[in-house]
Chains A and B, each alone.
Chain A
Amino acid sequence: GEDVEQSLFLSVREGDSSVINCTYTDSSSTYLYWYKQEPGAGLQLLTYIFSNMDMKQDQRLTVLLNKKDKHLSLRIADTQTGDSAIYFCAEITSGGYNKLIFGAGTRLAVHP
């Protein structure tokens, strides 16, 4: 079945790099997404990658996709306290409408 898994918690020091990992199961997913949720707010799209790409870079964010292992990662360079949030990995499935399957979310805590 469809499933997206990610670790629940990550703690990093301010200025270090953060790497959040995710595994997914639907090999037919056309897009994979990273959403960010700040405390008390809804989810906001952070970045996405098309399935025929291996890497996408967007300022401090780098997304790596390993299709063979169905592994997705999000690297945040020079992590700041404002990056503290929950990060959700999601895949889009086929089948008539664009259904997103979310992971449980990784809570990133940035400390001085």
Chain B
Amino acid sequence: NAGVTQTPKFQVLKTGQSMTLQCAQDMNHNSMYWYRQDPGMGLRLIYYSASEGTTDKGEVPNGYNVSRLNKREFSLRLESAAPSQTSVYFCASSETSGRSPYEQYFGPGTRLTVT
């Protein structure tokens, strides 16, 4: 049981390049999330997927797109990377119905630098 896995762990991009961050969970959770973490700002929600086949914008969606490929996988795409997207990106998953307290389980993060 690996929990939430993310690839890659580190990435350096040039401005304007594109890339996709991959996330997978093996806990059969319905909901998945993408956050970015910047110093002194906590975690901010980029996009979420409440269930397979649905995605919605979070707090800071501009410059990103997502795909909920199936129940296990939720990818985040940067179409044209900008230096302002330098951050640590976390994927998380949770169950959102039935048993509380709806704990979110986090992956180890992807450290992205855009030069």
- Could you tell me the distance between the alpha carbons of A8 and B39 in the complex, rounded to whole angstroms? 10
- Could you tell me the distance between the alpha carbons of A105 and B42 in the complex, rounded to whole angstroms? 6
CB-defined contacts of A43 to chain B, threshold 8 Å: 43, 90, 92, 104, 106
Of the listed stretches A10-18, A44-52, A63-71, A73-81, chain B binds: A44-52
CB-defined contacts of A99 to chain B, threshold 8 Å: 45, 48, 58
Number of A-B contacts (CB under 8 A): 61
CB-defined contacts of B102 to chain A, threshold 8 Å: 31, 92, 98
Instruction: Give chain A nearest CB distance to B70 CB in angstroms.
Output: 19
B31 at the interface (CB under 8 A from A): yes
Contact B48 A88, beta carbon cutoff 8 Å: no
- Could you tell me the distance between the alpha carbons of A87 and B58 in the complex, rounded to whole angstroms? 22
Contact A50 B42, beta carbon cutoff 8 Å: no
- Could you tell me the distance between the alpha carbons of A44 and B4 in the complex, rounded to whole angstroms? 12
Contact A31 B106, beta carbon cutoff 8 Å: no
Instruction: Give chain A nearest CB distance to B35 CB in angstroms.
Output: 8
Instruction: Give chain A nearest CB distance to B16 CB in angstroms.
Output: 29
Contact B50 A44, beta carbon cutoff 8 Å: no
Contact B100 A31, beta carbon cutoff 8 Å: yes
Contact A104 B108, beta carbon cutoff 8 Å: no
Query: Given known contacts A102-B43, A103-B42, A104-B41, is B103 in contact with A45 (CB within 8 Å)?
Result: yes
Q: List 24 A-B contacts (CB under 8 A).
A: A4-B42, A31-B100, A41-B108, A41-B109, A42-B90, A42-B107, A43-B43, A43-B90, A43-B92, A43-B106, A45-B104, A48-B103, A50-B100, A50-B101, A96-B50, A97-B31, A97-B56, A97-B96, A99-B58, A100-B45, A102-B42, A102-B43, A103-B42, A105-B42
